[in-house]
């Protein structure tokens, strides 16, 4: 085995063993006295009114996915911001097209009503 891979192998072993050892140590050290009141869901001292496994509307998931999509796409602006001087006006035009696509997507989602909670 080439010597360049030894540090990677050591890091991999540590990365695998650390969570396992930590969970086992926490299980051995922590006090364990479960009873019915302790196992109930805690809601600020108020008794639970209903089952906690309620269903969310599809609109919630649509807004969440749209947020993630737009958030991840704006992360793509970071490499451009780092190298914008080297890219010149061509880079500015590329980012303009990129942002125009984002705005078109946002307007489309708004017109579809995906961002309304009512």
pTM (predicted TM-score): 0.45
Alpha carbons 109 and 103: distance in angstroms, whole number? 10
User: Is 57 part of a structural domain of the chain?
Assistant: yes
Instruction: Identify whether 100 is part of a domain.
Output: yes
Place of tokens 């796409």: 73
- CATH of residue 44's domain is 1.20.58
Token pair 């125009």: residue? 100
Structural domain range at position 45: 3-112
37-83: pLDDT as tens digits: 777 766 676 666 666 676 777 777 877 888 888 888 888 888 888 88
Distance of CA 90 to the CA centre of its chain: 32
Q: Is the pLDDT of residue 21 over 90?
A: yes
Structural domain includes residue 103 = yes
Sign of CA dihedral 81, 85, 89, 94: negative
């Amino acid at each position: 085995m080439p010597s360049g891979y030894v540090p990677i192998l050591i890091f991999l072993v540590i990365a695998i063993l650390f969570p396992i050892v930590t969970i086992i140590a926490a299980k051995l050290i922590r006090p364990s006295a479960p009873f019915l009141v302790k196992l109930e869901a805690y809601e600020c001292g108020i008794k639970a009114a209903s089952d906690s496994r309620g269903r969310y509307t599809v609109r919630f998931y649509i807004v969440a996915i749209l947020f993630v999509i737009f958030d991840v796409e704006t992360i793509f602006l970071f490499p451009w911001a780092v190298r914008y001087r080297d890219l010149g006006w061509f880079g500015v035009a590329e980012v303009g097209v990129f942002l125009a696509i984002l705005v078109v997507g946002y307007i489309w989602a708004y017109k579809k009503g995906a961002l309304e909670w009512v």
